[in-house]
Amino acid sequence: MKTKKIIIIIIFLFILTGCTSTVNLEITDNIVHEQIIIDDQVTPKNYFREYQPVYYKDNVADTEPDIKEEKKEYYKKEIIDNKINYSYAFRLNDYNESNAMKSVFSSSAIVFSEATGITELYTSSDGVYVFDIYPNLTKLEVNITTELEVEENNADSVSGNTYTWVFTPNNNKKNIYLRMRNYIYKRKHVNEDKNDNKTDDSSKSNNNDSNTNKYSGNSNIKADIKYKEKASKEEKQKENFNYLVIALLLLFAFLIIIFLIGKISIKKNR
């Protein structure tokens, strides 16, 4: 009988024991670079699909044939250090449809607000459900690296600008929450109240239980909109003041011209 290839759903199927997987995300102001590393030293490498769709809607329904179809985007597959690697660069707004995120978490989202310059990534608090489907998976590690200013997070550990969450069958009921500030927005709003937006140093280490079930920062986003409105009002007041100064200068110049014309007229009459 013809052996069918494995349908890979994100960490993409683990047949034998001791399998682990790592998801590395690098987030910029408009791109999410996703890398999925599968460490399975027993399963033959050719059992993992060559053409795995990057978008959940295009996910493979049948294991055969393993071919590339038109009008679909696929992960780049490589074997690095004897591990399977799948990678793809998403536009920020497209990452909500990532095959990986939708296949691992019951719900997840990445949201960017142009009004506030905030990007938030969060997942459901019931952890990952792949442990129930693939009991031979022993660990899933999610690493998120970003140069954006991280204002809040609930990572298990932080190293530099990399935030790490580790899921195991016995440590699974938790979520991912990361709140980042777009650096372009920060440059345009340097006078905002930094104290209200500053992340406590403790948030860059293990967070307490109060942060565990944080899904979204809607209240924080509303606050940031308020800050932006305040900054816009101040900018408008400054702009109005500049207009007033210009008007006074023009009026002063006009009066000088009238005065000079009057003096010239008096000299001519004499």
The per-residue pLDDT for 16 is 39
Q: DSSP E strands: which ranges in 72-156?
A: 76-80, 83-91, 108-113, 118-123, 137-146, 149-153
The per-residue pLDDT for 123 is 93
Q: Residue 211: which pLDDT band, with cuts at 50, 70 and 90?
A: very low
Residue 239 has pLDDT above 90, yes or no: no
Global pTM? Answer: 0.63
Q: Residue 233: which pLDDT band, with cuts at 50, 70 and 90?
A: low
Which class for 83: exposed (0-12), middle (13-18), buried (19 or more C-beta within 10 A)? middle
12 vs 81, more confident: 81
**C-alpha distances in angstroms, 246 versus 235, 237, 250, 258?**
17, 14, 6, 18
pLDDT in tens, 19-78: 899 999 999 989 999 999 988 776 677 778 889 999 998 887 655 678 888 889 999 999
The radius of gyration of the chain's CA atoms, rounded to the nearest angstrom, is: 28
pLDDT in tens, 135-186: 778 999 999 999 999 999 999 999 999 999 999 999 998 999 999 998 666 5
pLDDT in tens, 109-142: 999 988 888 999 999 988 888 888 777 789 999 9
According to DSSP, residue 255 is labeled: H
Mean pLDDT value across the chain: 77
Q: Residue 222: which pLDDT band, with cuts at 50, 70 and 90?
A: very low
Residue among 7, 10, 103, 85 nearest 47 (CA): 7
Rounded distance, CA 24 to CA 13, Å?
18
CB-based contact 10:1 (threshold 8 Å): no
Return phi, psi of residue 133, to 5°: -80, -40
pLDDT in tens, 182-209: 866 655 555 554 544 544 444 444 444 4
Residue 3 has pLDDT above 70, yes or no: no
Rounded distance, CA 175 to CA 204, Å?
16
Copy the structure tokens of residue 185: 């927005």
Rounded distance, CA 100 to CA 87, Å?
11
**C-alpha distances in angstroms, 195 versus 66, 174, 200?**
54, 29, 10
Helices (H) and strands (E) counted in the chain, each on its own, are 5, 11
Rounded distance, CA 73 to CA 54, Å?
6
Domain layout of the chain by residue ranges: 19-216
